Amino acid sequence: MKEFVTLRIYFEYGQKTKEHSFWKKLHSGGFDRELLKRAKAFDLHQVLNFTVSKGYFNHAEIQWGRSESMHFRHPQVIEIIDTENRIMDFVKKEEILLQETKLVMVKNEIVLL
């Protein structure tokens, strides 16, 4: 049985990727889409993008998420589940992309089924 761990990646809704040209940034689908595509290409076991209804980062103002369009500072979470080695290899490979995110590794996940 594989020992899975969970990596949670916290970022703001308006976060952009730094590796793209100006025009690609302007028309890209956003940070979450780019990260999901790269995780899938890396063949990670499971990746989920959670939409946060309310919250804040770093003692900042609470983002309530009440409007039809999301504020650029609204918190978002992507959760990756795989073995610790696979996740750490992915983090090393995508170090530049993940620079302005907060990463939290949870090692106490138990897969029941």
pLDDT in tens, 37-96: 999 999 999 999 998 878 888 888 887 876 677 666 788 899 999 999 999 999 999 999
**75-83 and 46-51 strand pairing:** antiparallel
What's the burial of 80, exposed, middle or buried (CB within 10 Å: 0-12/13-18/19+)?
A: buried
Global confidence as pTM = 0.82
Tell me which fold the domain 4-106 belongs to. Answer: Alpha-Beta Plaits (3.30.70)
Query: Do residues 65 and 52 make contact, with C-beta atoms less than 8 angstroms apart?
Result: yes
Domain ranges of the chain: 4-106
